[in-house]
Chains A and B, each alone.
Chain A
């Protein structure tokens, strides 16, 4: 990278990126949308966009979940397992309670509570007992998966039709998932303005300094995990809507994708710097990369390889842009 070039044209960009850390991710997102549109014009149709959102809404939620622990420098490797556990619990409850409108809502509420409880357990184990986050949540992930397997040993059990037709349906001509996105956007905007977000970032930036300035560091970190559990539960409700069934292993593979989405979105894994908006964009980037790999006509035996390579390149591009801007 030539320093002269960076300095001349990144003065303004640098300030912008400090203000909006998700800017590089947004640029990559727009670029990917354009490329998808070039290779398959129909992929930008309203129906395809709705499809993209309804499939990746779960990963978007899980990335938000992951962001709240990454803010304070922690990580949650059990996030995907919480998704599985909530998914099978909700499915089993809806079936037990008869599957009418009321039982569906009640099951969703119980699902959210399960997510909160899982988050609280993680928070106590990591922040309360001071175990290493990466290892402790790896252990709880096995624990939660085990629980999910006892709730529903075999993938299956259909969700009530009312549930998934709502998730995939439309109201006043607008797909349900768009309302869901809007509701989450409002919720996140409120959360972003709360003092808690700033406190989490302060803890992630310098835990010692945060402690010395009188912040309740342990409580803040536990709250991060509780938020993480709650959003993982919301991710599970989305998956249940998109797959209409229970699967005790459905979320396992999503955990690392959620971490990748957080980083793609411009947040620092070390904590102290980042936005939830970026993570939402990061999740969509992963979805669009997978679609693009297919639309350009990659031979099947190369698809995994090219997918991995493309995610790596997106990561590098994002980091190079922000580093160049910050220099």
Chain B
């Protein structure tokens, strides 16, 4: 019995690992992330926290509270409810589902809370999406590949998770571009679930099956895996393939002089969303209302692109960072304020 009490006390202490700060904030913003397990997400949250701190120089106190855990959709709805209980002014969410948050976002809006989704679009008309257009992201890589190949050749595509909304939009993007080049033939498309090892395996199989491919369209971390197979097969001089944005790959790209180009989905999207949220909370109005995208609620951010010409800048930008650090970009406070009246 005594032990039980001691345990219960330990539990309480463990829960209270950090005392929460109670200083008066101008705005309190909740950040919700429903999937942990890539450095990209960690960097996304860290950049958003830094962006909030940067508002202090402008005389605006922005306090952020974070909920980040591997949760299912109901678990992330609970995260939103917790923010509502705490009385935040705005919620910025990287959502686990495009449609499942319609009811809870409506409740949040009714409670006077600003809701912004980032990284993945949501159907709710009570939320605004601030992030990149995944279709344009896919198209940018395809355009680079088509131009690099001189408009002709056999191409394979390695995709992420079938049925995932972002993946489907990216696929639609490259299909549209390749469709404009009649001499480019997509000989096969496979799914490697955004997993580096699966990407490597898929590339090995594709190289064995189609010895005459000259172009590879591949996304995110899978690109590092695919390139490893290309290098192992000693085909890096005859194949052009899209790349990715982590320091490890950018360094390899530079060292081995790979023929690559990478669309950037910057982890800074959440920070950008925060820099848009603050003027909104101040009651400012957008010059152009956010009405883009399939749900008519999106504000698209520019998508940086790294190719062989801009590679040196990218190398410099990630210099001194750990290998898993992603090349990033953010909408600065100044640029964000320019979007408002």
Instruction: Please report A residues at the B interface, Cβ cutoff 8 Å.
Output: 1-2, 5-6, 9-10, 31, 35, 39-40, 42-43, 45, 47-48, 51-52, 55-56, 58-59, 149, 153-158, 164, 167-168, 239, 242-245, 247-248, 250-254, 287, 290-304, 306-307, 309-310, 313-314, 316-317, 320-321, 324
CB pair B78–A287 under 8 Å, yes or no, is: yes
A156-B98, A306-B14, A310-B14 known; A243+B81 contact, CB < 8 A: no
Verify B103–A55 contact, CB threshold 8 A: no
Chain A nearest CB from B270 CB (Å) reads: 12
Chain B 264-283 per-residue mask, 1 if CB under 8 angstroms from chain A, else 0? 00000000000000000000
The 3 closest A-B pairs by CB, nearest first: A297-B20, A243-B100, A245-B99
Bound form: Cα–Cα A6–B1 in Å: 7
- Whole-angstrom distance from the CB of B249 to the nearest CB of chain A? 24
Contact check, A313 vs B11: say whether CB atoms are below 8 A apart. yes
**Could you give 19 example pairs across A and B, Cβ below 8 Å?**
A42-B85, A51-B107, A155-B98, A156-B98, A167-B103, A239-B73, A243-B74, A245-B97, A254-B74, A287-B78, A290-B71, A291-B78, A291-B82, A295-B86, A296-B17, A296-B20, A299-B66, A304-B36, A317-B4
Most buried by B among A9, A31, A290: A290
Q: Give residues 130-158 of B contacting A (CB, 8 Å).
A: none
Closest to A155 in B: B97
Given A52-B81, A300-B33, verify A242-B99 contact (CB < 8 Å).
no
A250 and B45 contact, CB distance less than 8 A: no
Chain B residues positioned under 8 Å from A168 (CB to CB)? 103, 107
Which chain B residues have a beta carbon within 8 Å of chain A's beta carbons? 1-4, 7-8, 10-12, 14-21, 31, 33, 36, 42, 45, 65-75, 77-79, 81-82, 84-87, 97-104, 107, 123, 162-165, 168
Taking a contact as CB atoms closer than 8 A, the residue among B18, B69, B165 that contacts A307 in the complex is: B69
- Residue with the greatest number of chain A CB neighbours at <10 A, chosen from B11, B70, B104, B162: B11
Known A-B contacts A31-B8, A43-B85, A48-B85; A1 and B3 likewise in contact (beta carbons under 8 Å): yes
Whether A247 lies near B11 (C-beta < 8 A) is no
Identify which of B12, B82, B84 contacts A35 (C-beta below 8 A). Answer: B12
A320 touches B45 (CB 8 A): no
Asked if A310 and B15 sit within 8 Å, CB to CB, the answer is yes
Taking the nearest CB of chain A, how far is it from the CB of B162, in angstroms? 8
When distances are taken between beta carbons in the complex, the residues of chain B under 8 Å from A1 are 1-4
7 more A-B contacts (CB under 8 A) besides A154-B165, A242-B103, A317-B11? A45-B85, A168-B107, A243-B74, A247-B73, A297-B65, A309-B14, A317-B8
Taken together as a complex, chains A and B put the C-alpha atoms of A304 and B89 apart, in Å, by: 25
A326 to B307, CA, bound (A): 70
Q: Indicate which residue in B4, B72, B77 contacts A253 across the interface (CB closer than 8 Å).
A: B72
Instruction: Give min CB distance, A285 to chain B, whole Å.
Output: 12
Contact (Cβ within 8 A) B100 A247: yes
Most buried by B among A47, A245, A248: A245
CB <8 Å contact, A296 and B8: no
Q: A299: nearest residue on chain B (CB-CB)?
A: B18
Whether A301 and B42, one on each chain, are in contact in the complex, defined by CB atoms closer than 8 angstroms, is yes
User: Whole-angstrom distance between the alpha carbons of A53 and B66 in the complex?
Assistant: 23
Instruction: Find out whether the CB atom of A306 lies under 8 angstroms from the CB atom of B17.
Output: yes
**Smallest CB separation, A62 vs chain B (Å):** 10
Residue of B nearest to A59 (CB): B74
Contact B103 A244 (CB under 8 A): yes
Q: Considering only CB atoms, which chain B residue lies closest to A157 in the complex?
A: B99
- With A35-B12, A243-B103, A317-B7 known as contacts, the answer to whether A250 contacts B73 (CB < 8 A) is yes
- In the complex, are the beta carbons of B165 and A155 less than 8 A apart? yes
Complex: A90 Cα to B99 Cα, angstroms = 16
Complex formed: what's the CA distance from A2 to B2 in Å?
8
Given A300-B66, A304-B36; A294-B4 close (CB under 8 Å): no
- Indicate if the CB atoms of A300 and B1 lie closer than 8 Å: no
Please state if A316 and B16 are interface contacts (CB–CB under 8 Å). no
Whether the pair A314, B168 counts as a contact (CB closer than 8 A) is no
When distances are taken between beta carbons in the complex, the residues of chain B under 8 Å from A39 are: 20
Question: Which one of B10, B81, B107 contacts A313 once the chains associate, using CB atoms below 8 Å?
Answer: B10
Inter-chain contacts of B19 with A (CB < 8 A): 297
Contact residues in A for B165 (Cβ distance below 8 Å): 154-156
The answer to whether A243 touches B20 (Cβ under 8 A) is no
**Residues in B whose Cβ lies below 8 Å from that of A155:** 97-100, 163, 165
Return the contact of A51 from the options B17, B42, B67, B85 (Cβ within 8 A): B85
Asked whether, in the complex, the Cβ of A303 is within 8 Å of the Cβ of B67, the reply is: yes
Q: How far is the CA of A239 from the CA of B103 in the complex (A)?
A: 12
CB–CB B78/A320 < 8 A:
no
Question: In the complex, A307 Cα to B168 Cα: how many Å?
Answer: 33
Contact A300 B45 (CB under 8 A): yes
What are the residues of chain A within 8 A of B36 when measuring CB–CB?
A: 304
User: A58 near B17 (CB under 8 angstroms)?
Assistant: no
